[in-house]
Amino acid sequence: MDILSPQNPRAKEWAQLLEKKHRDKQHKYVIEGIHLVQEALRSGADLECVAFDVEQGIPSELSSQMARTDKEVQWIGVSAAVIAKCSDTKTPQPVFAVVRKRPTDIDVLLQLKNSLVIVLDGVQDPGNVGTIIRTADAAGADGVIIGRGSADIYNPKTIRSTMGSIFHLPVVEGDLLELLPQAKENGVRIISTSLQATSTCYGYDFTGPSWLLLGNEAKGVSVEAEKLVDDSLIIPMKGQAESLNVAMASTVMLFEAMRQRHFQ
C-alpha cells in the first residue's frame, strides 16, 4: 500500500528517526539514497522497509535486488512530500530505507588473534566518525569502537559519511574504560598519537594486535583513557601545518598498518 500523506502515522514514525532519542527508542535508523540502500541490501542488513518515490518507481539499481530480498522487507511507494519529511538532506534522493539496529558484541573483536581496530574517544563530528569507519573498512581493519561522548553512529550524517562501510565491518559502542583493559588482558597494544611523542608511526611495528586510540577534535584523548595507552606515536610532518584532522590522522595510521601487514 502506498503512503502519500506526510501525516500518515507510519510516515511520522519514520520522520522521528531523524532524532537520536527516537532511534534509541525504536532501535531503528534511516538510510537515504540508492548507494546506501544497495549496500544495506548486499550486506544483509536487517531492513524493515524500503520506501521509494511512487512517481519515479523503484530505482533500476535496486529492482534486481528486490527479488532477492527477504520476504519480510516491505517495498512501499511514497510521495515526494513523505520523502522530504523523512530526509535529512536539502535535496532528498528518491529512496530511503528503515534499518533495525543490530548491536555488535565486543567479544567479536576481543576473540580475534591479531586484530587491527580503531577506537574513538569523544570524536564528536558525525562527518569525522563516518569517514573513520569508511577508512577502517578501506584499510582492512577488523572493526571500530565508538566510546561515550562520540557522535551517534546512526546519525544520518555519520551514516552518509561511511558510504556504506557501516555495513561491512563491526562497529561497537561502549565504555572505553571497560573495553580497553579487556583488550590489554588479551595482549592488545593500545596506541595513540601525540605531538609530544618521540617515536613515529613509520618506525612502529603494527603487525601485532593493535588498537589505535583517537581522541576529541579539540582536546584529544581523555585523561582516563590516556592512562591505558601503551605506545604514543607522532605522525611526522614536513610542512607548516600544526596538526592533522582526526579523520586524516586515523587514515595515515591505518594505511601504515595495512602496508606493514599486507605489502611488505
Which pLDDT tens digit goes with each residue over 117-139? 999 999 999 999 999 999 999 99
Residue 120 within any structural domain of the chain: yes
Longest alpha-carbon distance in the chain: 64
Point out the domain boundary residue: 47, 73, 100.
100
The domain tally of the chain equals: 2
Same domain membership, residue 121 and residue 41: no
Point out the domain boundary residue: 74, 100, 126.
100
DSSP string, 97-115: EEEE--PPPTHHHHT-SS-
- Going by their DSSP bridges, the two strands 95-100 and 47-53 should be labelled as antiparallel
Same domain membership, residue 120 and residue 203: yes
Same domain membership, residue 192 and residue 229: yes
Give burial (CB, 10 Å; 0-12/13-18/19+) of 209: buried
The neighbour count for residue 190, using CB atoms within 10 Å, is 23
Range of the domain at 121: 107-262
Same domain membership, residue 240 and residue 111: yes
The three three-digit cell numbers of residue 96, written as one number: 530511503
Same domain membership, residue 112 and residue 96: no
User: What is the identity of the amino acid at 123?
Assistant: V
Phi then psi dihedrals of residue 145, to 5 deg? -115, 130
| pLDDT in single tens digits along all 264 residues of the chain | 899 999 999 999 999 999 999 999 999 999 999 999 999 999 999 999 999 999 999 998 898 888 777 778 999 999 999 999 999 888 999 999 999 998 888 999 999 999 999 999 999 999 999 999 999 999 999 999 999 999 999 999 999 999 999 999 999 999 999 999 999 999 999 999 988 899 999 999 999 999 999 999 888 899 999 999 999 999 999 999 988 999 999 999 999 999 999 997
Q: What pLDDT was estimated at residue 172?
A: 95
Same domain membership, residue 200 and residue 111: yes
Spatial contact of 219 and 122, defined as CB atoms under 8 Å apart: yes
Residue 4 within any structural domain of the chain: no
CATH number at residue 258: 3.40.1280.10
Spatial contact of 157 and 197, defined as CB atoms under 8 Å apart: no
Residue 166 within any structural domain of the chain: yes
Same domain membership, residue 83 and residue 53: yes
Report d(CA 24, CA 38) in Å as an integer.
24
**Residue among 211, 208, 245, 203 nearest 228 (CA):** 211
Contacts with 60 (C-beta within 8 Å, 6 or more apart), sequence order? none
Contacts with 149 (C-beta within 8 Å, 6 or more apart), sequence order? 121, 122, 124, 216, 222
Which pLDDT tens digit goes with each residue over 168-184? 999 999 999 999 999 99
Residue 141 within any structural domain of the chain: yes
Same domain membership, residue 113 and residue 86: no
Spatial contact of 147 and 122, defined as CB atoms under 8 Å apart: yes
